[in-house]
Structure 1
Amino acid sequence: MEKVGEKQGEEDGAAPAGGGSELGQKSGTKRVPERGDDEEETPPTKKPVTDHSVKVASHYNKLQEVGLEVRSQSRIFYMRNFNNWVKSVLIGEMLERVRGAGSRNVSVLDLGCGKGGDLLKWRRGGINRLVCADIAAVSVEQCQSRYEDMKRKSYNNEKIFSAQFITADCSTEVLSEKLDDPQLMFDICSCQFVYHYSFESEQKADMMLRNACERLKPGGFFIGTTPDAYELVKRLEASDSLTFGNEIFKVSFQSKGSYPLFGCQYHFNLEGVVDVPEFLVYFPVLEHMAKRYNMRLVLKQRFSEFCEEKVKKEQHRNLMMKMMALELFPCEVGGRQASESTEEYSHAKERCCRAGLRQVGTLSRSEWEAASIYLVFVFQKMA
């Protein structure tokens, strides 16, 4: 799907079926404010091969950067923040594990960096070296500009990580050949809402995996977020057509009943953000392929499961409030909900009544149906 949390929003309890992730709040709690002639002729019956990477790059290059005020008016504002919170928790916890294992100088590869939506996360994590790579040249330029701006505005005594920015199709090009430091090894490779684009073919999926894993240190992590193929197929099979979705997103397949391991294309459209072809990632195949690079799967969770587990910790709940990852229902006097439809919040209303709460933190039903397509994964390089 899209690059949620960057192309779907920058950084500044399991949900009920069809509902939203919720945090109950007692009366008085308020919201915290805060990507030639010699050529043979093509037979008439043969269709030209489409490189979908070109479409993806073109789409993201055309996306305009907007400010917080514009983003806050988006129908998917809270979903964007929620997905960004998931990334923040994942990245923060993995940095803790790396440091807990004894790493002092932490190096990170952001594979599919987009416009740099995770730069602040790496800054907060106190890393030493960052390599950002993406297929969209305009996005990489904006990412680098954002980094330079961050350095200029940093405090005098704050040491900002060094960085390299690479424009490359990481599903067809060898990234290690483009590194300024050919000996550089990484503690973490982060691939957020990107890997599914590479499942157009086995060759592309393997190259993306090679770029993610071959330069990892022993014990290093390959982390990311990607759509859950099982969930997408389940929703497609339950649909009376080749399309499913709601008022904010739509997924369209070309057929159903048979799903190839590679090149199983669908089209994803998310309001104002994404309108591109994507490919199902059959996770058992990804897990098998990862073994070629001495990687083992240590975590795979749906967003709902991940959220239910992480909100048990106070620090993650506080971050959720700070990032406005959920909206309050009912909203404060004079405010408005993300959707005017009362049905979009029936689950939140039921929760308030059942638990005797004045307000709950939630996502609208449509936003949760979109967000709950995704899963979190973590692979580790075996020693």
Structure 2
Amino acid sequence: MELQSVNDEGESPGGQKAGKKRKHEQEEASPIKKLVTDHSEKVASHYNSLQEVGLAARSQSRIFFMRNFNNWLKSVLIGEILEHVRGSGSRRVSVLDLGCGKGGDLLKWRRGGISHLVCADIAAVSVEQCQSRYDDMTRKSHINEKIFSAQFITADCTKEVLSEKLDDPELMFDICSCQFVYHYSFESEQKADMMLRNACERLKPGGFFIGTTPDAFELVKRLEASDSLSFGNEVFKVSFQSKGFYPLFGCQYHFTLEDVVNVPEFLVYFPLFEHMAKRYNMRLVLKQRFSEFFEEKVKKEHHRSLMMKMMALEPFPTEDGGRQATESTGEYCYAKEQCGRAGVKLPVGTLSRSEWEAASIYLVFVFQKMS
């Protein structure tokens, strides 16, 4: 197994000659030279074609609880970062939602009482739906409630400079949030750097760049443990083209998650990500696997309460003879074990094994702009 390392200048050991030799060896090993594709278009096309479904349909989804769990985790992350920003004396909080999708985090920003939001995404249909959600939110808001102002931008944030598209060219952000998106940019160094530039260059000193992304080490570990070029279960599948060699940029895999995701993604080698962020005067404050983040935050009563409210865990056993999310054998072994312990109040909250395996691929990161 080889995951390339970098020196302080961000170059691979051995410099250009070694890189050329490796490239030549790879080309000789593959009789059919792969066509170089720009995957941004595939990503935009996929998310543009996703149908917007109502709450009733979402509640029938096999990954209903996992999606709620991920949403809870983002809520906790966003809430705690907003507390930090307010604690430093910011009254008017401006946020950049980089890769906003259909606006799944709009309510989080509303609850956080921010002043201004800029939403940017590569998928035009998603941006339209995000703006529509925002318009509905403002229409239905209480008379005395002041909803944040917002700008919506359709742009490929791995290629275009966002600051040139802002209505207010002087605007600076307290927070940039990039949820389940940054890994698409690791197709090349240029794209990854442009995404970082868009995330960080307009941050105020002390401002935060926060996000969630797959953990490259976890993905590689599971691939290497597999006897094929893929791994997964009944809700997700990850497929690589090869294993044993993992380039720093452009290390592509295909990720499918039930009916929600079916796109090419790229490994984000985190030490390199951290190194690149230093170019924009950013320092790493937090990096935690979802499992670690959950175990730490669930200790607090208000986070547990929010978890119940957001239905982030599935009740086991179900009450009134209802059905679990899946009938597959072994999906609730851990929950059954907990139920058998003395003093445990039923039902317990859990995720099915398949959903937990999918959710535990990800990590949380927080960078802060140095003053």
Q: Which residue number corresponds to residue 115 of structure 1?
A: 102
Matches within 5 A, 1:1-80: 48-80=35-67
The structure 2 residue matched to 1:371, chosen from 349, 355, 359, is 359
For residues 145-179 of structure 1, the C-alpha deviation after alignment (integer angstroms, 9 at most, x for no partner) is 00001000000000000000000000000000000
Q: Which residue number corresponds to residue 350 of structure 2?
A: 362
The answer as to 2:226 corresponding to 1:239 is yes
Between the aligned partners of 2:244 and 2:275, the Cα distance in structure 1 is: 24
Number of residue pairs matched by the alignment: 339
Q: Which residue number corresponds to residue 200 of structure 2?
A: 213
**Taking structure 2 as the reference length, what is the TM-score of the superposition?**
0.90
Q: Which residue number corresponds to residue 8 of structure 1?
A: none
Give the letter aligned to residue 238 of structure 1: A
Q: Which residue number corresponds to residue 119 of structure 2?
A: 132
Between the aligned partners of 1:98 and 1:308, the Cα distance in structure 2 is: 24
Give the letter aligned to residue 120 of structure 1: L
Between the aligned partners of 2:210 and 2:80, the Cα distance in structure 1 is: 11
Between the aligned partners of 1:183 and 1:331, the Cα distance in structure 2 is: 53
Between the aligned partners of 2:333 and 2:238, the Cα distance in structure 1 is: 24
The structure 2 residue matched to 1:86, chosen from 67, 73, 77, is 73
Q: Which residue number corresponds to residue 306 of structure 1?
A: 293
Give the letter aligned to residue 304 of structure 2: R
For residues 54-75 of structure 1, the C-alpha deviation after alignment (integer angstroms, 9 at most, x for no partner) is 0000000000000000000000
For 1:300, what is the secondary structure of its paired residue? strand
For residues 209-253 of structure 1, the C-alpha deviation after alignment (integer angstroms, 9 at most, x for no partner) is 000000000000000000000000000000000000001100000
For 1:75, what is the secondary structure of its paired residue? coil
Q: Which residue number corresponds to residue 21 of structure 2?
A: none
Larger RCO, structure (CA 8 Å, separation 6 or more): 1
Shift of 1:307: 0.4
Shift of 1:354: 2.6
For 1:188, what is the secondary structure of its paired residue? strand
Between the aligned partners of 1:60 and 1:228, the Cα distance in structure 2 is: 22
Residue segments in structure 2 that go unaligned for 5+ positions in a row: 1-31
Percent of pairs with identical residues: 86
The answer as to 2:234 corresponding to 1:251 is no
Q: Which residue number corresponds to residue 159 of structure 2?
A: 172
Deviation >6 Å, runs of 4+: none
Between the aligned partners of 2:143 and 2:329, the Cα distance in structure 1 is: 50
Distance 1:351 1:206, change over 3 A: same
Matches within 5 A, 1:319-358: 319-357=306-344, 358=346
The answer as to 2:370 corresponding to 1:382 is yes
Give the letter aligned to residue 375 of structure 1: L
The answer as to 2:83 corresponding to 1:96 is yes
For 1:354, what is the secondary structure of its paired residue? coil
Shift of 1:48: 4.0
Compute the RMSD of aligned alpha carbons: 0.9
Residue segments in structure 1 that go unaligned for 5+ positions in a row: 1-44
Between the aligned partners of 2:274 and 2:155, the Cα distance in structure 1 is: 24
Shift of 1:303: 0.4
